[in-house]
Amino acid sequence: MDYRVLLKEENEAVMERYELSMERIREMEGEDTVSLPYREYFKRTADFILMIGKLVEELNRGMLKEAPFEELKSWNRRLYQDIEEGTYEKSFANPAYAVKMLGDGVGQLLSFLYAEIRGDIVFAYENRLGDITILNELFIEIYNMFEEGIPQAKKIKDALYWFINDYADQMISYRMRESLDPGFSFAVDIIMNENLNDLRYLYHFGEQITDNELKTAGFLNSLPQETIELMAHTYTEGYRKGFEVMGRDLSGKKNVAIRYELGFERMVKQAVINFRNMGLEPVIYRAAVQTLNKNPNRKVGYYSASGNKQYEYDHRYDGAVYLTGTFKNKRKDILRSSYEALKKEASLFAGPAVIETFGENGFEPVNKPEAFGLSKKQEQLTIAYANESMQISNEYMPGDETSFTIIAFPIPAIGKDFEDIFKETIRINTLDYEVYKGIQQVIIDVLDRAAGVRIKGSGGNETQLFVALHELECPDKQTNFENCVADVNIPLGEVFTSPVLKGTEGILHVENVYIGDIQFKNLRLTFENGMVTDYGCGNFEKEEEGKRLVKQVILKNHDSVPMGEFAIGTNTTAYAMAKKFGIIDKLPILIVEKMGPHFAVGDTCYSWSEDSPVYNPDGKEIIARDNEISLLRKEDVSKAYFNCHTDITIPYDELDYIEAVDRKGNAVRIIENGRFVLPGLEELNRAF
């Protein structure tokens, strides 16, 4: 349905409550009924809410159409300045500052409340008065507690818990609808209807607009139309090929989710046109702002470059306030009922098409003791919910009926060579499919005669691994490795498999690697029979803090996960580009995984669709779709999946060798001293 009709009805129903709540918050400015230091918190938060009320008025008067660029920029700065790096240290959004000013226990909870209220910014731009109203009423409720004295932290926590509990249905069902229903076209309307040459359009989204978004959009506007069409074609054609390669039927699908970072609207607009020509309508939704719908490890949707990643890191586990076993079960029930209400839209959903970016400096998080963390029980509940929610999603959107594609481009934060790097990235994303298909088949032919693969690092890299492979019953018709060219993962350039866990042993070590937004230093994982048995990194002085970071970001809070994938990347052109510009440490895993051997911990590449045959271009079936853990789905699906697949790559220059080892112990070197030495791979070394 048209989201504007829905919001009009909801806004009319809630208008009286909205106005009354704003009036009550306005009255707080002249009151001194709350004692210090809490009065300062409520005054500053009330000022923010009243600014939101003024914003709603200006938006309804047509500010976005009429206001000059500088006025829109000024509004954006005022809305987001409280969480910018320069001011965050004295913001109540910062749990450390909140605890310092308001005390341990109460401070964290009031910081949680303020962070949640900051979602009002996007609610104002999307005209969601109902969401603003319920947060206003929660704020007033907690303010009233402090008028009566200083409440116990438990009383505040209970109010926050019941707020999330009471409105969980509303929050989850709206999120589901905006992520599946193309009628929720807020972003699509901006992209397709606004003049993208007038950069004022960026301020229509309501996201924080930094120099990255402005410079990216300006650069894309400077490119000739044929370049934009090439970028969009590579992206959308990769999506179409993904269905073709996996033998899945795209003709019965009608909707595709486009996820990207703001600034790429000109490319996205052309992609929308391309997808519509395929019969697919775009669904473009914002990365979640409500704690209940956020993913603690990544943004899902469209978003802007964060002005302060530490703010997001500090609040990644705010769910600790309300996560209980009872609530977990309620959330699961709401998810199912939401899918049931949208089962038609879910059946038509083809999958996501993602545009990633790279170029920002590595984020080194600070673990603040004042920030919320999950208890051991809550970690287990989180894992259980992830598993249960994936089962529900797979029921309504079977994994063997959908596909995806991912492509990446640099942003101006990468430095003075941005434009040259961008053009090189376009070249990397459009390398010759046929050339790489033949080269990679040479590698696969050797690997298919092997019982396993031995990988050894060089210099400071301490990797020593043996990866066990499945035995082929019919080598003429079967293969272990997928010949991956440009479809779901762009750029092309890898051969990958799901290893046999028994016999997969050793240490995986990388000196520097990006996982999501975080740059890991001296990352180390130990494997026994394919399972992670020990781990750590050098990001912190205290070893325990490093282990906790690896567990949270890489293992997704599991105590242990299997090696779900082993691959050899062949995109030496990407590697040469990275070395030329000195940006290896800024590249996303999407590109880095093509620049050496990589290993994914967690589920296999074929999770939730292992029973669907997959074939290489030469017609051979890839039989390595399962491992000993994923096979447990036949007995108990809850034991088969981790909802985790984290890629880790060793760069070529950290390699001593990679060799295929047959069942008699004979070895054939594929890479030695960082170069391909197998006959037939000479072309790959030209880029060096």
Phi, psi (degrees; rounded to nearest 5) at 604: -75, 170
Residue 226 predicted with pLDDT over 80? yes
Name residue, tokens 């070895």. 667
Residue 585 predicted with pLDDT over 90? no
Residue 90 predicted with pLDDT over 70? yes
Tokens for 657, please give them.
């060798």
Residue 326 predicted with pLDDT over 70? yes
Spatial separation of the C-alpha atoms in residues 31 and 26, rounded to whole Å: 10
Give the per-residue pLDDT at 559. Answer: 93
**Residue 604 Cα distances to 350, 503, 563, 629, 644, angstroms:** 21, 17, 8, 10, 9
Spatial separation of the C-alpha atoms in residues 529 and 499, rounded to whole Å: 10
Residues 200, 205, 208, 212: is their CA dihedral positive or negative?
negative
Residue 486's pLDDT band (boundaries 50, 70, 90)? low
* CB distance 629 to 593 below 8 Å: no
Q: How many residues does the chain have?
A: 688
Tokens for 154, please give them.
């438990």
Residue 602 predicted with pLDDT over 70? yes
Residue 44's pLDDT band (boundaries 50, 70, 90)? very high
Spatial separation of the C-alpha atoms in residues 549 and 540, rounded to whole Å: 9
Q: Is the peptide bond before 491 cis (omega within 30 degrees of 0)?
A: yes
Give the per-residue pLDDT at 297. Answer: 79
User: Hey, which residues does 599 pair with through a beta bridge?
Assistant: 566, 648
Residue 484's pLDDT band (boundaries 50, 70, 90)? confident
Average pLDDT over residues 520-525: 94
What pLDDT, in 10s, does the model give residues 136-179?
999 999 999 999 999 999 999 999 999 999 999 999 999 999 99
Spatial separation of the C-alpha atoms in residues 565 and 601, rounded to whole Å: 7
Average pLDDT over residues 399-428: 94
**Coil/strand/helix, residue 578:** helix
Average pLDDT over residues 460-464: 95
Of the chain, the percentage scoring pLDDT greater than 90 comes to 87
Name residue, tokens 């779900």. 564
User: ∠ CA 433-434-439 to the nearest 5 degrees?
Assistant: 100
Half-sphere exposure of 271 (CA within 13 A, CB side): 30
Residue 361's pLDDT band (boundaries 50, 70, 90)? confident
Average pLDDT over residues 455-478: 96
What pLDDT, in 10s, does the model give residues 250-306?
999 999 999 999 999 999 999 999 999 999 999 999 999 999 999 887 899 999 987
Rounded to the nearest 10 degrees, the angle between the axes of helix 3-27 and helix 38-60 is 140
User: ∠ CA 436-440-446 to the nearest 5 degrees?
Assistant: 160
Spatial separation of the C-alpha atoms in residues 586 and 609, rounded to whole Å: 32
**Coil/strand/helix, residue 536:** strand
**Coil/strand/helix, residue 225:** helix
**DSSP per-residue letters across 429-461:** HT--HHHHHHHHHHHHHHHTT-SEEEEEE-TT-
228-234's contacts with Cβ under 8 Å and 24+ in sequence apart are: 228/266, 228/267, 228/270, 229/270, 230/426, 230/430, 231/267, 231/270, 231/409, 231/426, 231/429, 232/267, 232/268, 232/270, 232/271, 232/273, 232/274, 233/274, 234/407, 234/429, 234/430, 234/486, 234/490
Give the per-residue pLDDT at 433. Answer: 80
**DSSP per-residue letters across 259-318:** E-BTT-HHHHHHHHHHHHHTT-EEE--BPP-SGGG--TT---SBB---S-HHHHHHTTTG
Give the per-residue pLDDT at 4. Answer: 84
Could you tell me where the DSSP H helices lie in 295-417? 309-314, 325-341, 343-348, 376-396
Phi, psi (degrees; rounded to nearest 5) at 483: -85, 95
Phi, psi (degrees; rounded to nearest 5) at 241: -65, -30
Residue 1's pLDDT band (boundaries 50, 70, 90)? low
Q: Is the peptide bond before 651 cis (omega within 30 degrees of 0)?
A: no
| Mean pLDDT across the chain | 94
Average pLDDT over residues 531-553: 94
**Coil/strand/helix, residue 667:** strand
Spatial separation of the C-alpha atoms in residues 445 and 125, rounded to whole Å: 56
Rg (CA), the chain: 26
